[in-house]
Structure 1
Amino acid sequence: MNGKYAGRGPARGYQRCWPYDVIDIASLLRIGHNWLAVEAYNPGISTFQYLHQGVAGFICAARWDDLTLVSDGQWIGRVDPARRWDTVRLSQQLNYQEHVDLHRDDRRWITARSAPTDWTRPVSVRPFGAMPWHDLEPRRIPNLGHEQLLYNAAVAESCGVSGEAWSDWRDIQAGWRLERQTAKWGKVASARYDPQDGVLRLPGSGAGNWHAVVLDMGRPGVGTFELAVEAAAGSEVVDLYACEWLDADGGPHVPGPGTCCEAAMAGRVRLRRGANAFETFQLIGHRFLTMIVRNSDNELTLRIRLRHSVYPLQEAGAFESSDAVVNDIFRICKDTQRACMLDAYVDTPWREQAQWWGDARVQAWNTFHLSDDARLLERGIRQIATQRVPNGLTYGHAPTMAHGCILPDFSLIWCLTLYDHYWQTGQPNLFAELWPEVERVLAYFDDPAHQANGLLKHDPRYWLFLDWSNLQKEGVPTLLNLWYIYTLARLAELAEAVGMGDARQELDNRREAVTALAMHHLFDERSGLFRDGILPNGEPSETHSIHNQTLAIMSGLAAESHATMWSQSLLPYLRGDAIEGALPSSYWVTYIYQTARQAGEDAVVLDHLIRHWRPMIRFGGCSEWFVVDDTTPQPPTTYDGTFSHAWAAHPIYHLMGSLGGLVQTQPGWRAVRFSPAFVQVDWCAIQVPTPHGLIRSAWQCNDDRITVELTLPDGVRADVALPTVAEAGVTGTCRWNVPVGER
């Protein structure tokens, strides 16, 4: 609006009920004439964010007093002449690389005060409601933020000869990968970067050569790149390359072909003579941005900023302790979580930006310790419910064109997130509204065709995920059946909460029947552990993985053997000992932590957490798998993952729960348990947002006493378990002194 950024959208959704944005532009308006400019993008393909249905359009409406503004056949537009249309995709899941020639578009139309003469009216004007846009729906979440960030520092520099046919590359990353193989990287010497204003000065590369500088954000970020050049000669080409970590030589990591979902996070801008100003369109997740200037005869001065386009979470949660490493772990987890909150909870802002629902469940738990905002979870629950298999299963992420990403276990996770929403908000109405969709999911699992001896079996038509590990997934997997039992129990609680007595009884009956079968066929009485399942040949598995013991404890199964499960599986794993069976990923370990903390094993959880997350600190974000430790400064060359995966950001709430001592015990945070673990640090202070207000806790170890304080908002009570202190139902502000010897 009048050349000033107003917002971007719409949020991902389905065209039949496309979400509309409401944008407040009052602060951007002028008295008299105002100029509205919109840049729209349609790739003509479906992605991991939305389904393309063959057409593209634009609709806009506003009313101020007696002025009505409606997009119609009088509006003018054009296809952007500056963009190349045969580039490669940013990844298998995303749109296309942006190659832009500013000789062909000076972009003055964005700030113009009169209509361009070479623009035309729409070829076709369709009435509102024409298919595929049958209807519109509210966005239901805030518009993305657009804070402009500067990079912290220039950290590496190199130069070289441009590759063969460099000017015509369709894939900037593929060409850059070849150049990168022979490049020598060192500290920044000839280039100059000012982090105060984002100005980078690069010496001339010479015709046919390149000069590159790596800029470091210091943490995962996601957004669009704003580039400005005051005095270009008109021959320069600026290539942008985004990545998440640097290789051992200090240069940017470039994945090899066939890896990382063919991620190619690169783009190109050809500068015209004089002043240039350009902003990319696609949201790119990264930590490091490599600026590669080609064909420059003289020093080039350019300004680069990132428009950080994340969900505008109003953070109220906080964590601080006396240990710098623990604080850094919390920080990288929070930074990773924030970068994975766009118009949906996404797995990573770098490679996919997909709303994977197993990831989203953990991310919602993370978020609820930073802000009392359940809107992103609620919107995702509705979107997952909208894209389904005819037999009732949900897609593993949605909206999506990935028909191979149907994960039966994620359909159960979707049911569980209805419970998570209720647990956070105290309101069960979303479950009542979506109960018919829950019944469709359950109907799939009730079908005898998907069972063997009454237990759930692997359906070869779909991807049974369970975890990134070598768990048994063929035949009758125990973990799938335990998730089913656990889900039925949570759904029964929801049915009780909304007064659906018959449904509650049916769910309980179903759970009891499957539990009996699981105990008979899947529990190994000789070892006291759950075996991994029944093999396709009908023989029982001989392995007993930690996943199954954890979920059995969570579900209350084989209670008499929980001590065995602890001593032979969970505790040895957390202590770093070798254990039987598959090992959990950085995602699934959150369930082990949760189970161990409920048993009072906070100290061993914190030791494991610090041991595995401390090596991630130098990467600024959380890794998709456990791939680095204190002895491996770089991930293995075969690593195909990310360092911006918020399914591994769960130390946010584990640190708050263990060191901060706060664990929610009733829906809507009406009650909590307060029992901080006085380990690892000398003091800790946290605050957790709830629907009732902030809960604050703090403790400090002094010479002979530990001072403890807890402040609860109205509507929240706490059961307190401290050494020498046991109190139930406390409210308001409380203080205690605990002997140091009890630590």
Structure 2
Amino acid sequence: MTTPFAAAGAEWIWVPAFDDAAFPAQFVSLRRTFQLDQVPEQDVLLHVSADTRYRLYLNGQSISFGPCKSYAARWNYETVNITPYLTKGLNTLAARVLRFSSSHPGCFSMVRTALPGIKTDASWKAKLDVGVRMADESEWDYRLGPSFLNLNERADGELLDRGYAQPEFDDSAWAAAIVIRATGKMSPMLDPRRLTPRQIPSLSEDAAKFDGVVTSSGPNTSEEWTSLILEGKSLSLASNSTHTVDIEVKALTTGFLDFACQFDGDIQARPEIEFLCSECYEPAFEMGQPRRKGDRTDFRNGTLYGPVDIYKPHVGLNQYSPFWFRTFRYIRITIKTGTEPLDVSKFSYRSTYYPLNVATTIQTSSPLINNLWDISLNTIKNCLHETYEDCPFYEQSQFSMDSRSQILFTYLLSRDDRLARKTMHEFYASRRDDGLIETHYPNPARCINIPTFSLFWVLMVYDHMVHFGDERLVKEYLGAIDGVLNYFDRRITELGLVGQFDGDCWAFVDWIDGWISPGKGFLGMAVPPAYYKTGSATFHSLIYAYTLLKASELCKFVGRNDTAKEYIDRQQSIVQAVRGQCFDESTGLFLDGPKAAGQFSQHVQTFAVLSGCLETNDAARELMSKTISRHEEYSMAKASFAMGFYLFRAASEAGIYEESWPTLIQPWQKMISQNLTTWAESESSVRSDCHAWSATPLYEIGTEILGVKQRSKEYLKRLGKEGTEIMVAPRRALVEDISGSVLVGDEENDLVSIKWGKGSDMRVETSKGQEVSVIVR
């Protein structure tokens, strides 16, 4: 019996004569056959990794997809028990590897090193896959903005090595794989990748069907297309015909597409099949024109925009699945047949997400609350894969500001903090020599940095302390937290405010109409004009002060009381400077910058409250009342969906949450009326229809309406906080009836249940009889 993998240590192998710089991305196929006298009774564990991505098959079955996204110093490998897939006799391991070149920008979502390869031994055979190429950047529709993913395919079935994952495939013409090393003889150099086990579970791949046909054109009816996708009934397309069909799922999703067809005609008359994935219908627009989305389901007056995969079938049975998952609510299939007919037998998908075990649930007769919860949950789910993602459709990048909110949302749903831990460590590993972390990471290139996003990483660590009370985790990151805060301390001006950042930094605050500074290009977008006009943006000082408050608690938690005091002293100095330099006596509001007459924003007022800039509760209440209900009167820049999370927090802290709820929730009500099934990125930057930083309503329902605050015992004990671990302060005035079970402990079944109905008393129960502190509002 031979072993299916290297017994004496694996090597990185690859196809011979590979030109890594020839294209931004290329596919390579690899095979390894072996004989078994009998199937082992014990588990046979296989460890596998590749640069950049792989899918591994054993005897034709997909058994692993990876490696999990990370960075070179923590390059992941997967471990698979292959015993269930082994057979007596001939067996075949096969891999398909997508390699992104280190010489090209390529996909901004995936890290790669200078060397391609898959980790095994040199007994494999390898071949460059010329049947599929990635769409060139010139083929991207730049009306949609920059091209970040570059993952769409142009596939020619006739050039594919069909069946190469099966044992009976003839690979005699394939070349022997070669070993690729980063080291030389007697060299102390190491492999650029430091291998580490995958830290999170594998993504789901669950068989799913589309929900229906929106519209179709061509000889075949919509009913015939519907029978194909719902019942699997084969569909015959006549020769010399053109077919366009729009297919939908009820709610935006992420999944791997699976398409099958039979073509028995002349190779010279092959059809061409296009798959366009889109988030919504929207009015037509041209390059340079603003996008204006309304009813996302309005197919009569809207069109579909999105990236396109193209497949040309070979003679015989075709089964085509793009390598990477797609994001879609609608898919437009366009098929142009040649002089021969085409039979389509399958079009479905495999939904894919991070397998988060959602334990928190709600039930209510309120349509609004139900919609807010369901849409938020679907948004979060679609932005959870191997990292927290800003948006699955356009970027699939892990940003620290986005991730801070997303992590808090998932803490409300599940005690699974593995992805959160992975995220915190990845940002920690991205530290720059000036103390900042990278704005989005992992990524394959040095990018523009948003300094305030480093503060959101500090808040991530704080949130984990509150929810889990893990001393070791806090200690691991405190040094880097000091570095982040010191970066801002070094930028304090003679006015006592945070000044301007370095030239490679973006002073981003929020996507707001009117926040653009002429002549500054990209760096002038989403930045309060006061930043360039006065040399300082009040928001930067206030969010720094807010983070200092939280960092002080982190230090107290591990006994660094002197540093905790230092951070409070810094916070006090900042808020005093803001009061003195940025407060407008005539309106009672804080300006966007020192002496920035008439420039106000909800962002600054919000963080004035959160950072402790107001000296009395009455002052905070008055300020937030103006901010929320009278912002138009003062021409305040309005907070976007992402910053709305903090606006809700300030309203709660100021004691005006219930009276502010109808106004604060309006943007989400508008999205519901526009038939979104996930929350959009922004009102002013109309791009992504699925952006998890906008899933704030889920958090509001759990922590404010049901009123459950999650706090670990260790956090309460070490910081001397008053009250019990479980604090419940529901807001009955906001919903007539509701029942919910919310996570509160260290295990998935540690729940507190709250229930009330019209005219009935409120009931609060815990799954394990824990002590509960209930505040009746």
Query: One fold, TM greater than 0.5?
Result: yes
Partner Cα separation in structure 2 for residue 395 and residue 199 of structure 1: 50
2:277, 2:171 → 1: CA distance? 35
2:131 maps to which residue? 82
1:533 is paired with a residue of what secondary structure?
Answer: coil
State the 1:293 CA deviation.
1.1
Asked if 2 retains the 8 angstrom alpha-carbon contact of 1:660 and 1:697, the reply is no
What residue is the counterpart of 1:224 in the other structure? 256
- In the superposition, relative to structure 1, how do residues 681 and 510 fare at CA in structure 2: closer, same or farther (>3 Å)? closer
SS of match in other structure, 1:654: helix
- The match for 1:739 is none
Q: In the TM superposition, what is the alpha-carbon distance from 1:717 to its structure 2 partner?
A: 3.5
> 2:100 corresponds to which residue?
43
CA contact (8 A) 1:322 1:681 kept: no
Alpha-carbon offset, residue 326 of structure 1:
2.2
How far apart are 1:105 and its partner, in Å? 1.7
Partner of 1:634: none
Which SS does the other structure have where 1:544 is aligned? coil
Residues 460-469 or 291-300, more deviating: 291-300
Q: Letter of the aligned partner of 2:59 in structure 1?
A: N
Matches within 5 A, 1:501-580: 501-534=561-594, 539-560=595-616, 561-572=619-630, 578-580=633-635
Alignment match, 1:383: 426
Post-superposition shift, 1:422?
A: 1.2
Partner of residue 213 from structure 2, selected from 133, 142, 154 = 154
- Which of 322, 326, 331 is the equivalent residue of 1:289? 331
Q: 1:654 offset after TM fit, Å?
A: 0.6
What is the DSSP-based 3-state SS (H/G/I as helix, E as strand, rest coil) of the residue aligned with 1:706? coil
Task: From 462, 479, 500, give the equivalent of 1:458.
Answer: 500
Alignment of 1:344-423 (within 5 A): 344-401=387-444, 403-423=446-466
What is the aligned-residue RMSD (CA, Å)?
2.9
Q: CA deviation at 1:322?
A: 0.5
More deviation, 192-201/457-466: 192-201
Checking the alignment, whether the CA contact within 8 Å between 1:676 and 1:722 is kept in structure 2 is yes
Cα distance change on mapping 1:8 and 1:197 into 2, 3 Å:
farther
Letter in 2 for 1:542: G
Q: Is the CA contact (8 Å cut-off) linking 1:529 and 1:564 kept in structure 2? A: no
Q: Is the 8 A contact 1:369 1:653 kept in 2?
A: yes
Local SS of the residue matching 2:420? helix
TM-score, reference length from structure 2: 0.79
**Equivalent residues in 2 for 1:332-731, closer than 5 Å:** 332-401=375-444, 403-448=446-491, 451-459=493-501, 461=503, 462-469=505-512, 470=515, 471=528, 472-474=530-532, 475-534=535-594, 539-560=595-616, 561-572=619-630, 578-608=633-663, 610-617=665-672, 618-626=675-683, 640-664=686-710, 671-690=725-744, 691-692=746-747, 693-702=749-758, 705-714=759-768, 716-722=770-776
Q: Distance in 2 between matches of 1:254 and 1:9?
A: 38
* DSSP-derived class of the 2:372 partner: helix
1:37 Cα offset (Å): 1.6
Deviations 1:287-333 (A, max 9, x none): 11111112254353231222222111111111221022321221111
Deviation at 1:132, TM superposition (A): 5.0
Could you tell me how far 1:187 is from its partner in structure 2?
A: 9.1
Separation in 1, partners of 2:232, 2:392: 23
Q: CA deviation at 1:123?
A: 3.1
Cα gap change, 1:518 to 1:601, in 2 (>3 Å):
closer
C-alpha offsets along residues 358-380 of structure 1, whole Å, 9 cap, x if unaligned?
A: 11111111111221111212211
Q: Are the counterparts in 1 of residues 681 and 690 from structure 2 also a CA contact under 8 Å?
A: yes
| Cα deviation digits, residues 136-191 of structure 1 (max 9, x gap) | 1232111111112211111121359xxxxxxxxxxxxxxxxxxxxxxxxx993664
Measure, in 2, the Cα distance between the counterparts of 1:81 and 1:532.
Answer: 56
| 1:106, distance to aligned residue in structure 2 (A) | 4.7
Determine the structure 2 residue equivalent to 1:172: none
Distance 1:572 1:321 in 2: 32
2:44 counterpart of 1:12: no
Question: 2:152 and 2:774 mapped to 1: Cα distance?
Answer: 55
CA distance in 1, matches of 2:229, 2:134: 34
The answer to whether the aligner puts 1:94 opposite 2:149 as a matched pair is yes
The aligned residue for residue 235 of structure 2 is 201
**Are 2:609 and 2:654, in contact at CA under 8 Å, matched by a contact in 1?**
no
For 1:603 and 1:157, locate their aligned partners in 2 and report how far apart those are by CA, in whole Å.
Answer: 47
Aligned to 1:67: none
Q: Are the structure 2 counterparts of residues 282 and 489 from structure 1 closer, same or farther at C-alpha, using a change threshold of 3 Å?
A: same
Number of residue equivalences:
659
Equivalence for 2:272: 237
Task: Answer whether contact 1:142 1:312 (CA < 8 A) is retained.
Answer: yes
Q: Deviations over 1:601-641 (max 9, x none)?
A: 443454235532234331211111137xxxxxxxxxxx641
Unaligned runs of 5+ in 1: 60-70, 161-185, 628-638, 724-743
Matched-pair contact (CA < 8 Å) for 1:43–1:96:
no
Q: Deviations over 1:219-266 (max 9, x none)?
A: 221232111224554512211110100236xxxx79858999xx9521
CA distance in 1, matches of 2:286, 2:756: 46
Cα offsets for 1:546-596 (capped at 9, x unmatched) = 2112112112222332132033213445xxx65432111111111111222
What is the CA distance between 1:428 and its match in structure 2? 3.2
Are residues 666 and 190 of structure 1, via their aligned partners in 2, closer, same or farther at CA, if it must alter by over 3 Å? closer
Do the aligned partners of residues 117 and 379 (structure 1) sit closer, same or farther apart at CA in structure 2, a change above 3 Å counting? same
What letter matches 2:406 in structure 1?
Q
1:734 match? none
Offset at 1:515? 2.7
The residue type paired with residue 443 of structure 1 is: N
Amino acid at match of 1:694: D
Aligned-partner SS, 1:42: strand
Where has structure 1 moved over 4 Å in runs of 4 or more?
127-132, 197-200, 253-260, 665-670, 713-716
Q: Is the Cα–Cα contact under 8 Å of residues 244 and 288 in structure 1 kept in the other structure?
A: yes
Give the distance between the partners of 2:683 and 2:90, measured in 1 at CA: 57
| Distance 1:524-1:258 versus aligned 2 partners, 3 A rule | closer
Q: Distance in 2 between matches of 1:202 and 1:602?
A: 59
Scaled by the length of structure 1, the TM-score of the pair is 0.82
Tell me which moved more, 710-719 or 511-520: 710-719
Q: Would you say the 8 A contact 1:151–1:198 is kept in 2?
A: no
Q: 1:294 to 1:13 in 2, by over 3 A?
A: same
Of the candidates 246, 251, 262, which is equivalent to residue 214 of structure 1?
246
For residues 63-96 of structure 1, what are the alpha-carbon distances to aligned partners after superposition, in whole Å with 9 as ceiling and x for unaligned?
xxxxxxxx21111111112113663376621134
- The answer as to whether partners of 1:569 and 1:580 remain within 8 angstroms in 2 is no
SS for the counterpart of 1:8 is strand
CA drift of 1:35 comes to: 2.2
Distance 2:698 2:234 in 1: 36
CA–CA separation in structure 1 for the residues paired with 2:346 and 2:407: 36
Distance in 1 (alpha carbons) for counterparts of 2:459 and 2:134: 43
Contact 1:51 1:399 in 2 (8 A): yes
CA deviation after TM superposition for structure 1 residue 409, in Å: 0.6
Structure 2 unmatched ranges of 5 or more: 1-57, 141-145, 292-304, 516-527, 717-723
| Residue-by-residue CA offset, 1:403-441 (whole Å, 9 max, x unaligned) | 443001101111111101212212132221122222222
